[in-house]
Structure 1
């Protein structure tokens, strides 16, 4: 009996302990708390941007308080895991703090103030001025460099284009640098220290058309009547200029990223826009990336260019109009196949007049014809089957590698266009007498040494076609003239070109053809191609055995820290 009592007592104690332990056990996870995981960059100048990652931030920007020492920062955007802030004046080196409601936390990383201040530029530049690499420059609204003034920009300088909301006039115009007729820009970067125009948004949040772009206006001829308005809301009008050697300055080793903005329907600012820019101007080693309209557009003028890049543009890569008659050698365009414009994006788009006939009569009206000469150009869109469907990330579709229309007199030599739904569209325009066909008949529109590769959609084998009174049969007969040495390489034979395996890599391309590629030979330099401006390369396309983009080009500007 006594043993039984002891056993019962032991069981009772064990049961009580079990209840106690069970009551003490807590399987609930701790509630998430405010925390800073990291921030980048760890060094930035006053007015630079810093991205803070962490937990339990408030998705409403105003419900967070971020301090750099005792200085409170402006919050640009907010989510529960990320805050993008602007470094405030009075910021101090040390930890960054974030507060939401009653919670506050400081970073374990240390932040330090960068040495480059952000200088905002607005309105007009009315006296000679130099922008230095120890500052970052922010263009807010339209910035005009007035006639007689030279703007000098040092190698390595970063210039940011402000978004529409930063326009101090309230007109919602994206930051745009405009070099007026009679003014000059002297922007000489180097291969190791290029000058960069880019978006004011932080890395990872940049996009097409964040700002306007760079506009040069010169005093070389256009074929427009005097007092013709510029596109995109730029003030002023064309003059009846005639100085073919006018000098708007120098652009060398310059990148222009996330520009191209539409301010009016059918009236846009491009990545690099050139109005009547003369042959005295020096432009080479330029990269336009993620332009919201054309990457490059020439409105008349005589300027010559070499070594130019168009990366992942939205509309056309090379757009010529208003009587442009300069020369261009070495250009490469790499497109995102998922992004195209509603107007149907082309590699080359070339016009001379834009209506039912030539412009009204009068000084500079109708002449000169648009007659540039391009050589050693490469355009790449689809590595697989081309498509003319509306693209996933854009508002339109791809059309032609070359759409030549409206009395254009353009010539293109030793170039390759790969992956368009059609390679060449020869478009007569509105009138036969003054249309593109007249220039074909005269032998002044010259296409020589052209390779059209993988340029046919599955429903059609018509790589070359005519339009608006110029028949497809005539277009094909012209392109296939034996002496012109043009070639069509169907999709089934593209491998014979021995393109580089990284040719279509959007963030790390390599355009050099493989050893033994037929592109390394076969160039034609007769007719307009014999001009002394052109280096008489043996290869077709933009590259032989030298990668001229190396060192200064940036194939991933979306993720580059420019503070």
Structure 2
């Protein structure tokens, strides 16, 4: 009996334990979590590729965000739930890699190290087809000429550094400069996420205006100078008697040019991007020139058409046209540094047809082309507070005009905004005998339509538009204010009505999109030369409507960007 009771008691305990264990059992599996299990390779250069392995990534590339060292967002090349292949971004730093997806963020325990690419020096001449790859850094030492018949191909993401005067192997103290000669081509096709960058060879924090020369394209389209005219800046060779309006010097897309513009001779400099006789068969768009020591862009004749141009903190003029340039340009923005201008008096647009020596002749222009480009949807922002003459603050001269149009030019500008210059427009007949700026205005070949001059420095609008060289202020103002042209002057008291974005004048991170309801979003005029089929007939005036075409590929702070 006692044995039976003990057996029953034992069975009861066993039953209870079984019930307890059954009650505690949880059949639910833990939810999968985002995780990083490996990085390969653990060291890679900017624009190199890295494979990140782990769990619970999104198989949709755009649903993942990968950052290197905190804020540098990588381009995702492919994605699965267990692997992301990414491109190392230009501003990456050594440290952990983080992945964000589905509301979760995880950082790697494995440390990523930013690698340094090999530096490949380039000097003298390139005489055969050549490709520069993104796994190297290339340095221009002295003038580098791409000779006729050769094509220089540059891969997306490639870094090219311009050497200073002391790196010139010829001993002539010429800063690194890339020169594409007539008959040669450049094929530099960057992308919005992987632009090609030409920059200073100096380290971050030590770069400055004119650290190197810049990029020069020479084509075979018409110019209005005699054959055998020399190029500026000490470039070898001379102009020819070219007439191919559709000449092709190659392709440049999504290219940044930083700290160029070197003065090698008095009044003879190399600009950020210089174009001599470049033809309409050439493709150029999405270009940013930053901190140029001379003009950001200068066209010496030619017929090339261009779109989406940025000029950041240039020293002299932003858009300089001369020698009979007759192409078309749409969408361009210039942001100036209020403390930096040139001794020649910096302008937004500066347009000439001949120098004050009167060559070539007026009238039929000796059978050569007049300077007659057409620009549309351009925005120039000089500064947002009291203008400085810039001499004591880092420059060598004052600001002058949003547009200085002179010496028989027949430039035309449509639907554009020029803000903050001491004067908005100067129409100048020049001093050479028989020049015809005034005649071009009277003939209707120089056209200004849909222009907004936002002069927030001088409230007296009678000084915003002026004449010079025989054109009176009254004549200039009568022309500009012709009702059918749709031009407008906005003085200090009314600047706020334009609804500029508060970040418009932020030098290292601007936002140029006008506010909702801004009068800049309407009022465009597309008659006359603006009716050309090249132009997209935007409703807005200035470079921007509601889309920011500078996003992704531009760099507003190249001074502090590490390029390795």
Q: TM-score, normalised by structure 2?
A: 0.79
- Write out aligned runs for 1:399-438 (5 A): 399-431=400-432, 433-438=434-439
- Taking the aligned partners of 1:143 and 1:496, their CA distance within structure 2 comes to 50
- Taking the aligned partners of 2:473 and 2:341, their CA distance within structure 1 comes to 25
Q: 2:336 corresponds to which residue?
A: 335
1:135 aligns to 2:130 (yes or no): no
Q: Secondary structure at the match of 1:378?
A: strand
Q: Secondary structure at the match of 2:337?
A: coil
- Taking the aligned partners of 1:393 and 1:480, their CA distance within structure 2 comes to 36
- Taking the aligned partners of 2:441 and 2:460, their CA distance within structure 1 comes to 28
Q: 2:52 corresponds to which residue?
A: none
Note the C-alpha offset of 1:352.
Answer: 0.2
- Taking the aligned partners of 2:456 and 2:374, their CA distance within structure 1 comes to 23
Q: 2:503 corresponds to which residue?
A: 502
Q: 1:453 corresponds to which residue?
A: 454
Deviations 1:506-550 (A, max 9, x none): 000000000000000000000000000000000000000000000
Q: Secondary structure at the match of 2:475?
A: helix
Note the C-alpha offset of 1:364.
Answer: 8.9
Q: Secondary structure at the match of 1:493?
A: helix
- Taking the aligned partners of 1:342 and 1:152, their CA distance within structure 2 comes to 37
- Taking the aligned partners of 1:456 and 1:402, their CA distance within structure 2 comes to 16
Q: 2:272 corresponds to which residue?
A: 271
Q: 1:304 corresponds to which residue?
A: 305
- Taking the aligned partners of 2:454 and 2:392, their CA distance within structure 1 comes to 21
Does structure 1 retain, via aligned residues, the 8 Å contact 2:372–2:411?
yes
- Write out aligned runs for 1:33-112 (5 A): none
**Compared CA separation, residues 458 and 488, structure 1 to 2 (3 A):** closer
Q: 1:261 corresponds to which residue?
A: 262
Q: Secondary structure at the match of 2:463?
A: coil
Note the C-alpha offset of 1:131.
Answer: 0.3
Note the C-alpha offset of 1:455.
Answer: 5.3
Deviations 1:134-168 (A, max 9, x none): 00000100000000000000000000000000000
Does structure 2 retain, via aligned residues, the 8 Å contact 1:411–1:446?
yes
Instruction: Name stretches of at least 5 consecutive residues in structure 1 with no aligned partner.
Output: 1-41, 46-109
- Taking the aligned partners of 1:306 and 1:223, their CA distance within structure 2 comes to 24
- Taking the aligned partners of 2:328 and 2:301, their CA distance within structure 1 comes to 12
1:464 aligns to 2:477 (yes or no): no
1:398 aligns to 2:374 (yes or no): no
Note the C-alpha offset of 1:492.
Answer: 1.2
Q: 2:235 corresponds to which residue?
A: 234
Does structure 2 retain, via aligned residues, the 8 Å contact 1:346–1:403?
yes
Q: 1:209 corresponds to which residue?
A: 210
- Write out aligned runs for 1:482-497 (5 A): 482-497=483-498
Note the C-alpha offset of 1:273.
Answer: 0.1
Does structure 2 retain, via aligned residues, the 8 Å contact 1:339–1:391?
no
Note the C-alpha offset of 1:247.
Answer: 0.1
Q: Which moved more, 1:366-375 or 1:429-438?
A: 429-438
Q: 1:161 corresponds to which residue?
A: 162
Q: Secondary structure at the match of 1:470?
A: coil
**Compared CA separation, residues 222 and 114, structure 1 to 2 (3 A):** same
Q: Secondary structure at the match of 1:430?
A: coil
- Taking the aligned partners of 1:484 and 1:559, their CA distance within structure 2 comes to 44
Q: Secondary structure at the match of 1:226?
A: coil
Deviations 1:88-141 (A, max 9, x none): xxxxxxxxxxxxxxxxxxxxxx99783521100000001000000000000100
Note the C-alpha offset of 1:382.
Answer: 1.6
Does structure 2 retain, via aligned residues, the 8 Å contact 1:271–1:295?
yes
- Taking the aligned partners of 1:306 and 1:391, their CA distance within structure 2 comes to 35
Does structure 1 retain, via aligned residues, the 8 Å contact 2:339–2:388?
no
Q: TM-score, normalised by structure 1?
A: 0.79
**Compared CA separation, residues 389 and 260, structure 1 to 2 (3 A):** closer
Q: 2:286 corresponds to which residue?
A: 285
Figure out how many residues of one structure are paired with residues of the other and give that number: 459
Note the C-alpha offset of 1:355.
Answer: 1.8
**Compared CA separation, residues 359 and 527, structure 1 to 2 (3 A):** same
- Taking the aligned partners of 1:120 and 1:268, their CA distance within structure 2 comes to 24
**Compared CA separation, residues 233 and 431, structure 1 to 2 (3 A):** closer
Q: 1:385 corresponds to which residue?
A: 386
Q: 1:516 corresponds to which residue?
A: 517
Note the C-alpha offset of 1:393.
Answer: 1.1
Q: 2:246 corresponds to which residue?
A: 245
**Compared CA separation, residues 311 and 517, structure 1 to 2 (3 A):** same
Q: 2:199 corresponds to which residue?
A: 198
Q: 1:171 corresponds to which residue?
A: 172
Q: Secondary structure at the match of 1:492?
A: helix
Does structure 2 retain, via aligned residues, the 8 Å contact 1:388–1:399?
no
Deviations 1:410-457 (A, max 9, x none): 000000000000000000012464320010011000000000002554
Q: 1:475 corresponds to which residue?
A: 476
- Taking the aligned partners of 2:314 and 2:486, their CA distance within structure 1 comes to 30
- Taking the aligned partners of 1:136 and 1:357, their CA distance within structure 2 comes to 46
Deviations 1:174-230 (A, max 9, x none): 000000000000000000000000000000000000000000000000000000000
Q: 2:528 corresponds to which residue?
A: 527
- Taking the aligned partners of 2:365 and 2:387, their CA distance within structure 1 comes to 41
Instruction: Name stretches of at least 5 consecutive residues in structure 2 with no aligned partner.
Output: 1-41, 46-110
Note the C-alpha offset of 1:276.
Answer: 0.1
Q: Secondary structure at the match of 2:383?
A: coil
Q: 2:62 corresponds to which residue?
A: none
Deviations 1:439-492 (A, max 9, x none): 001100000000000255478850000000111110000000000010000011
Q: Secondary structure at the match of 1:439?
A: helix
Q: 1:546 corresponds to which residue?
A: 547
Q: 2:223 corresponds to which residue?
A: 222
- Taking the aligned partners of 1:538 and 1:113, their CA distance within structure 2 comes to 46
- Taking the aligned partners of 1:560 and 1:318, their CA distance within structure 2 comes to 26
- Taking the aligned partners of 1:554 and 1:470, their CA distance within structure 2 comes to 41
**Compared CA separation, residues 387 and 366, structure 1 to 2 (3 A):** farther
Deviations 1:374-425 (A, max 9, x none): 0000000121233456451100110000000000000000000000000000
